[in-house]
Amino acid sequence: MDYPGTLRELKEFRYQSRSVKDELRDNLIKKLRAGEKLFPGIVGYDDTVIPQLINAILSRHNIILLGLRGQAKSRIIRQLTDLLDERLPIIGGSEVNDDPFHPISAFGRHMLAEHGDLTRIDWIDRDARFVEKLATPDVTVADIIGDVDPIKAAKGGHLLSDELTIHYGLLPRANRGIFAINELPDLAGKIQVGLFNIMQEGDVQIKGYPVRLPLDVMLVFSANPEDYTARGKIITPLKDRIGTEIMTHYPKELPVAIEITRQEAWTNRVADRDGVVVPEFIREVVEQIAFEAREDSHVDKHSGVSQRMPITVMESVVSNAERRSLLTGDEPIVPRVADIYAAIPSMTGKMELEYEGEQLGAHRIARDLIKRAAGEIFEGYFVGIDFSRTVQWFDEGNKLLLTDTASADECKTLLDAIPELWETASIPFDFKSSDTGKLVAACELVLEGLYAENKISRNEEGTYTAVTKARKDRRGMIYDDLTETGKYS
């Protein structure tokens, strides 16, 4: 399509200017009527966040998303550009995307006065109409609003008080688009004052003289709920001018969390071999770790546990299984519980710990989270199934070590020594006898589940043994795995 290149051609094109909020509203209405999928890739918010977001856009509100880290706030904000027109006409050379029919800058007005209908028209795409800034204490008025540029004044022969000497900040450059600020409470108070002046009055002071900038902009913010509601973090007049507050949240159900991780984690990385086969119960254990961490008293609730944790853990789990496959020749690649323990380095950096947690150590807490998560998933699959013969085998003094580098065939040879384990572990799953890797993973889940129920023990090296009599009745005791080594006892 050939777009108009001059103001005259734009008029003949019968282009009608709209405010950006009307544009977002109109395009949203079209998508809703057409039954199009809104915010693709955003999982778990269909009945909570997305309806509220739709209502806010239909109401032409400025929006703030309140939530802990890793709740897709930034992704939602960036996808708002999908509701903008594909291309937008501006006065050629304008720094603030001047509307050819209603320019707000001195430059735009000057171009119209000088060239009239021959004024050059440029077209910008929707991505160029999105401006994002992470709020930090060192952000200045010049960064957001603008500042006087002495070089502009000298080159153009202007007085410093002339509007043509202004170097525009991020907010004016977002005119006729979307301006997003992440972590709004971290913005200095004087910057917040400048924002609400722009939102309400359309004017701002730069270096002591007033400049009228009736910006047409959709403002979207994100913040941590605790910071947003804390006194002194955000000024009340700005908060009052934000039309809609939307609370995001972590996945509330395990299947939703699994779907997110399945979508985001890079696991299909072996195109030249039999690929990666991740048993569903391994996905469930990885996801349950995050659920357990969010409830753990040693993990800081105010920071939260990002959904990035199960994503990176799953990638590390698959990578450890891939490493084993490269060493042993096992195909396909089948992750198991031992690989989850090997993924602890991808876990520890994703948790902010309370004081007691710091004393225990992130590695120790991560091991316990794996234990509890595996116990939850084990109960779901093996409720009512008797493993007394397996427990008895350990009580007789036998031990078992399944290293994360042992091949599936090696593990099967070791597991065959345990009465009934191989057959019983396969009961909930429709595995074939040739699915050795999957069956080994199922047996490891059983062993980890029995360990979580304190029927057998596991030391830090991964060896399963009998439980001492002193601990027989202490089902699910926290951090029992490490006391076996004596390291933390």
The pLDDT of residue 105 is 86
Q: Among residues 322, 319, 294, which one has the least CA distance to residue 309?
A: 294
Element containing residue 179 per DSSP (H, E): strand 177-182
Q: Among residues 265, 255, 286, which one has the least CA distance to residue 374?
A: 286
All residues at 6 or more sequence positions from 481 whose CB lies less than 8 Å from its CB, including other chains: 367, 368, 371, 451, 457, 458, 459, 460
- pLDDT 10s per residue in the chain (489 long)? 688 999 999 999 999 999 999 999 999 999 999 999 999 999 999 999 999 999 999 999 999 999 998 999 999 999 999 999 999 999 999 999 999 999 988 889 999 999 999 999 999 999 999 999 999 888 888 888 877 665 565 555 555 456 666 778 898 899 999 999 999 998 888 888 878 777 777 666 665 566 677 889 999 999 988 888 776 688 888 888 899 999 999 999 999 999 999 999 999 876 555 689 999 999 999 999 999 999 999 999 888 899 999 999 999 999 999 999 999 999 899 999 999 999 999 999 999 999 888 999 999 999 999 999 999 999 999 999 999 999 999 999 999 999 999 999 999 999 999 999 999 999 999 888 889 999 999 999 999 999 999 999 999 899 999 987 655 555 444 444 444 443 333
Q: Compute the C-alpha angle 117/122/128, nearest 5°.
A: 150
The answer to whether 91 and 123 have CB atoms below 8 angstroms apart is no
Looking at 428-477, list the stretches that DSSP marks H as alpha helix, in order from N- to C-terminal side: 436-452
CATH T-level fold of 7-247: Rossmann fold (3.40.50)
The answer to whether 100 and 7 have CB atoms below 8 angstroms apart is yes
The region that residue 44 occupies, defined by phi over 0 for left and psi between -120 and 50 for alpha, beta otherwise, is: left
The pLDDT of residue 215 is 87
The pLDDT of residue 106 is 84
All residues at 6 or more sequence positions from 312 whose CB lies less than 8 Å from its CB, including other chains: 265, 346, 350
Q: Any idea where the domains of the chain sit in the sequence?
A: 7-247, 254-483
Amino acid, single-letter form, for residue 445: L
